[in-house]
Amino acid sequence: MDADPTSDDAASDGEKRLVIRINSNAKMSRGKAAAHAVHAALKLYGIEYGHPVIVIGGKPHEILEQTVHVRDAGRTELEPGTLTAGASWEWKPREDPGQEPGENPDAD
């Protein structure tokens, strides 16, 4: 691990914040970049996470159905308390070995 997230020794006179940089030279979608940002944040906290991270848009009611929620502090772009994100575990069913990839067995 490269850093101790609990250490406040360096620059303790300012506001501590987590900074994630995305490689602007790598051609990737916003969703892929967001997923890798999640992986970077988890890794900073010492969590080696091997499961896929899927970042998708959602309506407020969909976000509120998730296990955890994030609300903005209101320091820059959004009003304080604005619901911005949610996360939960979701299990994707395994595809039947005889099924073509992407084929929906329930479709008529």
CA distances (Å), 98 to each of 33, 86, 104, 106, 108, in order?
Answer: 33, 35, 12, 14, 18
pTM: 0.65
pLDDT at 4 over 60: no
Residue pLDDT, tens place only, 10-32: 556 789 999 999 999 999 999 99
CA distances (Å), 16 to each of 6, 13, 44, 88, in order?
Answer: 10, 9, 14, 27
Q: What gap in Å lies between CA 23 and CA 33, rounded to an integer?
A: 9
Q: What residue spans define the domains of the chain?
A: 1-55, 57-92
pLDDT at 66 over 70: yes
